[in-house]
Amino acid sequence: MSKQATLTIGDKDFPLNILVGTENEHAIDISTLRKESQYITFDDGYGNTGSCESDITFIDGDKGILRYRGFDISELAEKSNFLESCLLLFNGELPSSSEIDNFKTKVFSHSSLPSSVEEIIKTMSGNTHPMGVLSAALQALGGCFPHLSTNTRPADIESFEEAASLIVAAIPSIAAKTFRSSKSENTPSANNAFSYCENFLHMMFGNESAESIDPAVSNALDLIFLLHADHEQNCSTSTCRMIASGGANAFASLSGAVSALWGPLHGGANMAVIKMLNEIHSAGDDGSQFIQSAKEGKSRLMGFGHRVYRNYDPRAKILKSACDQALEALGVESPILDIARNLESSALQDEYFIARKLYPNVDFYSGIILQAMGFPTDMFTVLFALGRAPGWLSHWKEIATNGKRIHRPRQIYQGSTHRPYVALSDR
């Protein structure tokens, strides 16, 4: 197959190179198009546009495949854990036991937040959504470690490992502090005898006596974080890369990514799923009326559909079985779980959803498990951000080390053409 495409405009041909990825994805490289033809391409929402070449995560939306650095998500879910997956995403290889121990030591050395960051969280958490608090706290954290957020390279690249372990450690502490402050409670200090997830659950729900944590709960939480760790060029990761392309540090890039994730069409969907299921439950609907309203375009079946997956989101499959196990371990009967199952089975047989290839995505089941664990709904997207932080950090590192140009898309202007100024007296 020719490694070139030809674009013909009028009587002129423009040869364009074809890029082929390691998974045989093909792209037409239009880097020279504007210079050669004065034309740009247009792709609203970037559904057909590759913004970069990346080695981090591969998704095949038609086959429902997700791999971190070549390792399949179902194998990582079964055999790996969140902190190991962090190192895999950062460095591209499964870490040795000494690398894992070294990373854990670094993460636990940062488990308490600088007092100025704690102050900001306390001040904001009364009336600001936890995602707004997280975004601000990440910027404040960067400010407390100016040597890790210099906005100069290679300095910020050389200190990446330190910055990454600090951020991976800090987000659970920020989340717990935000939750506790909203209830005017103190946050129990981290207990380094606990695992990463046990510590988070302890800070969120425990007390100073540091009682033991149910491994079924901490393991389910670890799985949720691992499944969320990266997802190639989604809205928030692309935002992170956009900010990083301007030379900004990792704290600033992740602060922006948190804001992008917040939206209900993206990471905010896990909150929206629970809100939707609770509304269906309180309306006495078993889900069938809601399905009808979604088919009439009056509502969206939150937790369904995906820009890339035109098949079952592999993460949703794994979470669905984890949901059953976690609820059984927690001894929780969830009325909304029956509604979720009803929605899923109806949607999977309904022509409206089949024709549009709408399947459950990662957010459909995660909220049910998080609610059963006792997390308040407004914390769900913070937990998504906690899981996604290693992905954002890996993409920050990839774009920082590849020294690519600043991201600056073009546009097609559709506004007023040139017109003279009109004096106020003549308006």
Measure the CA–CA gap between 165 and 86, rounded to whole angstroms.
9
Place of tokens 């308490």: 112
Q: In this chain, which residue has its C-beta nearest to ligand SDX? A: 305
- Smallest separation (angstroms) from ligand SDX to the CB of 96: 28
Closer CB to ligand SDX, residue 234 or residue 249?
234
Nearer to ligand SDX, 200 or 384 (CB): 384
The residues near 89 (Cβ < 8 Å, ≥ 6 apart) are: 56, 57, 68, 69, 229, 230, 390, 391, 393, 394
Nearer to ligand SDX, 260 or 399 (CB): 260
CA distance 176 to 394: 24
Query: Residue 315 has which token pair?
Result: 């993460």
Out of 230, 306, 313, 395, the active site residue is: 306
> Which DSSP helix (H) or strand (E) runs through 318?
helix 314-330
According to DSSP, residue 412 is labeled -
Least distance CB 293 / ligand SDX (angstroms): 10
The nearest distance, CB 392 to ligand SDX, in angstroms, is: 10
Q: Which amino acid belongs to residue 196?
A: Y
The CA distances from residue 60 to 64, 90, 249, 280, 309, in Å, are 6, 21, 31, 33, 7
Binding residues (CB under 6 A) for ligand SDX: these are 231, 234, 265-266, 269, 294, 300-308, 356, 358, 361-363
* C-alpha–C-alpha distance, residues 16 and 4, integer Å: 6
Cα–Cα distance list, 316 to 3, 64, 123 (Å): 37, 10, 36
Residue 60 falls in the annotated catalytic set: no
Spatial strand order of the sheet with 26-28 comes to 4-9, 12-20, 26-28
CB of 208 to ligand SDX, least distance (A): 36
* Residue pair 251/141 in contact by the 8 Å Cβ criterion: yes
Which of the residues 363, 378, 395, 407 is marked catalytic?
363
Q: Of 301 and 389, which has the nearer Cβ to ligand SDX?
A: 301
Q: How far is the CB of 374 from ligand SDX (least distance, A)?
A: 23
Concerning whether 306 is annotated as a catalytic residue, the answer is yes
User: Helices (DSSP H) in 49-207: which residue ranges?
Assistant: 73-79, 82-91, 97-109, 115-124, 130-144, 155-158, 160-182, 196-205
Which CB sits closer to ligand SDX, 250 or 362? 362
Give the helix ranges, DSSP H, for 155-212: 155-158, 160-182, 196-205
Closest separation in Å from C-beta 312 to ligand SDX: 13
C-beta of 317: minimal distance to ligand SDX in Å?
14
What b-and-e string marks burial along 319-334, b requiring 16 or more CB atoms within 10 Å of the CB?
bbebbeebbeebeeeb
Nearer to ligand SDX, 73 or 301 (CB): 301
Bridge-partner residues for 16, per DSSP? Answer: 5
Q: Hey, which residues are catalytic here?
A: 306, 363
